[in-house]
Amino acid sequence: MSKVKLKKERFLDWYFNEPDDYLIFARNIISELRTDGKAKTSIRELLDGCSELPNYIMEDHNEEDEDAYYCPTEIKLID
């Protein structure tokens, strides 16, 4: 099965669509800095932490199947 494509920028826009999302992310980074002295998070790690993502944010999404969702393992991140 081929993977659906998702632009990294589009994913980040969707992932951080609410101001509280930024605050939660910032708190997690600050917590890592306090405990480990460093913090590192990749876009793929953020994606893998999602349970599912909507069809409408995918490249070439199928408008006939707007209600479809994809698991992170079904998604290929692109630039």
Q: What is the pLDDT of residue 1?
A: 72
Contact 58, 52 (CB under 8 A): no
Kindly give the parts of the chain with pLDDT less than 50: none
Phi/psi-derived region of residue 37, left when phi > 0, alpha when psi is between -120 and 50, beta in every other case? left
State in Å, rounded, how far the first CA of the chain is from the last one.
21
Write down the pLDDT at residue 66.
76
Which amino acid would we find at residue 66?
A: E
Sorted by where each begins, the domain ranges of the chain are: 4-73
At residue 62, the pLDDT reads: 75
User: Whole-model pTM?
Assistant: 0.86
pLDDT at 49: 93
* pLDDT at site 27: 95
Of 51, 60, 50, which Cα lies nearest the Cα of 7?
60
3-state secondary structure of 62: coil
